[in-house]
Amino acid sequence: MGDETFLAATLPVLDLAVASVTAVRDAAARAGGFDAGPPPDPERVAAAFASDRLLRLDGAPVDGFAPLSGFFRAADGWVRTHANYPHHRARLLALLDLPDDGGHAPSRDDVVAALAGRSAQDVEDRAAATGAIAVRARTEDEWRASAAGRAAASGPPVRTAVRDDVAPPRALTAGRRPLAGVRVLDLTRVVAGPVATRTLALLGADVLRVDPPRPPEIEVQHLDTGQGKRSTLLDLATRDGRARAQELLERADVLVTGYRPGSIEGFGLRLPRGAVHARVTAWGDDGPWAGRRGFDSIVQAASGIALVEGSRDGTARAPEDAAPGALPAQALDHATGYLLAAAVVDALADRAGDGRGRETDGALARTAHALLTAPGRDPAHGAPRAPGPRCVVEHRAQVDGRGGVASTTRPALDRLAGEAVDDHPAPARPWGEDEAAWAP
C-alpha cells in the first residue's frame, strides 16, 4: 500500500496535510537560512493530523466527541451539533426544549427525538441566534451559492496584511530553531490555534498559553496539542486579569487568538508596535457568518464536505438522500494551524527587515474551500491506513488529577536543517498550572 492510503478519503486530504506541513518547513528554512531538505514524511504527517484518534491514556483510546455532538436526522435532512463544552451542551438542550434540571440528564436518544420533527434550517437559525452550535448539512453546490460560501471562496486559507506601526527590527536566529527568543502569547483553544502555537514552540519560540478559568479546557485535548508550551490562567473579565494580560502582551512578539472576531479586542488589549497578530476563526472576518461559532466538524457539515464524504460516488447528493460522513481527521483544523504557523514565521522574518507589525488570519471555511476545489478526488478509496507505532511517543501525564502514561504523536515536521525531529520540546504541562510570566 502506498502513502496515499494514509488519510484516505474522497477529497485529497493527505495532499492538503502534506502541503500545509511543507509550508511550515519552507518558512522555517527561509527564516533560519538552511536547506529545506526532502518533503515531510507522509506517515508522520498523517499521524499528526489524526492525533486525537491515536491518543491513548494508559493504553486506552480517547473519544474526542461528547455524546450530544454529531449528526442527527432532522425532518428534511441532517444537522451536525457540537456540544463538547458544557455551555454549548446547555445551549443545545435549551434550543431543543430539553430541560436539564439534574433529575434527568437528556440522552442522545432524547436529542434524536427532539430533532426528528424539526426543520434543519430552523435548527441552524435558532442555534445561531442563541449561541448553540448546530448547522444544516449542505451540498457543496448549496454552500458555494450562499453568501457565507462566497465569503469562504474569497481568498487563500491564511492571509497576511502589513500594518503601519513600527518597532526596531530584530533578526531571527540562524539554524533549525529560528524563533529562539521570540515570545508568543497564545489565546487559543481546541485544535487549529493550539496546533499553530505548538509548531511555533517546536521552532524555538517561548509560548505561553493563557486561558480563562471557566470553562475549563478539555484536558485530553490540551494533552494532545499543548506540547512545548506553558499554560496559565487569567480572567480577562476582571481588571486585574486584563492588566496582567496587557503586561504580558507588551513584551510579546506574537499574539495568537482563536476566538470569534472582536472577542479579544472587546477586552481592550493593545498590541505593541511591530507585533504580529495571528488569528484563526471558523468562518473568517467577512461574510454573514463572521460572528458565528464553529468548529472543524461544523464547517465540514455546512460546506458540503460531509455529504461528499458520505457519498461513495464522490457526489454530494441532496441531504435527504444520503447519510453524511466525515474526513478521516480534523484536517481543516490541522491544516489551518500549520498554514497559520507558516505565515507567522514569514511575518517575523519580514518584520526583521522593516520592523512593521503584521496581521495574519486563517479561516477553517477558506481551508474547506481549498480542499473542495482541489483536484484528485477518489470516491473509490478504501479505509484509511493507520500510521504505525514509530509515529507515537509515550510520556508521563496527569489528567483529571491522576497520573498515567500518555501516547501522543510525534511532530509532523520529521526533519529540520537535516536533523531528525523525534518529539516536541516537552510534553503538555498540566493545564493552567504555570505562572503568568515569560520564561527568564
Phi-psi region of 121 (alpha: psi -120 to 50; beta: other; left: phi over 0): alpha
On average, the pLDDT of the chain sits at 94
Mean pLDDT of 370-381: 97
Residues labelled as active-site residues: 333
Task: Provide DSSP, 33-93.
Answer: T----SPPPHHHHHHHHTHHHH-EETTEE---S-TT-EEEEETTEEEEE---SHHHHHHHH
Is residue 364 within 8 Å of 198, Cβ to Cβ?
no
Go through the domains of the chain in sequence order and give each one's CATH number.
Answer: 3-63+156-284+329-420 (3.40.50.10540), 70-151 (3.30.1540.10)
pLDDT score recorded for residue 47: 98
Fill in the amino acid letter for 132.
A
Axis crossing angle, helix 42-49 with helix 331-354, rounded to the nearest 10 = 110
Does the pLDDT of residue 260 top 80, yes or no? no
The pLDDT tens digits for 90-113 are 999 999 999 887 668 899 999 999
Omega before residue 157 within 30° of 0, cis: no
pLDDT score recorded for residue 1: 54
| 277: three-class secondary structure by DSSP | strand
Mean pLDDT of 202-207: 98
* Distance, CA of 303 to chain centre: 17
Which of 205, 234, 210 shows the shortest CA–CA distance to 222?
A: 210
Confidence of residue 317 (pLDDT cuts 50, 70, 90): low
Instruction: Pull the grid cell for residue 237.
Output: 473579565
Mean pLDDT of 396-417: 90
Mean pLDDT of 218-239: 94
Q: Which of 261-265, 316-320, 342-346 has the lowest mean pLDDT?
A: 316-320
The pLDDT tens digits for 170-184 are 999 999 999 999 999
Q: Which of 2-6, 183-187, 248-252 has the lowest mean pLDDT?
A: 2-6
The pLDDT tens digits for 17-56 are 999 999 999 999 999 999 999 999 999 999 999 999 999 9
Confidence of residue 404 (pLDDT cuts 50, 70, 90): confident
* Distance, CA of 98 to chain centre: 30
| Euclidean distance between CA atoms 283 and 365, whole angstroms | 5
Q: Which residue has the higher pLDDT, 398 or 435?
A: 435
Mean pLDDT of 346-371: 98
Is residue 132 within 8 Å of 342, Cβ to Cβ?
no
pLDDT score recorded for residue 320: 59
Q: Is 297 exposed, middle or buried (0-12, 13-18, 19+ CB in 10 A)?
A: buried
pTM tops 0.85, yes or no: yes
pLDDT score recorded for residue 312: 61
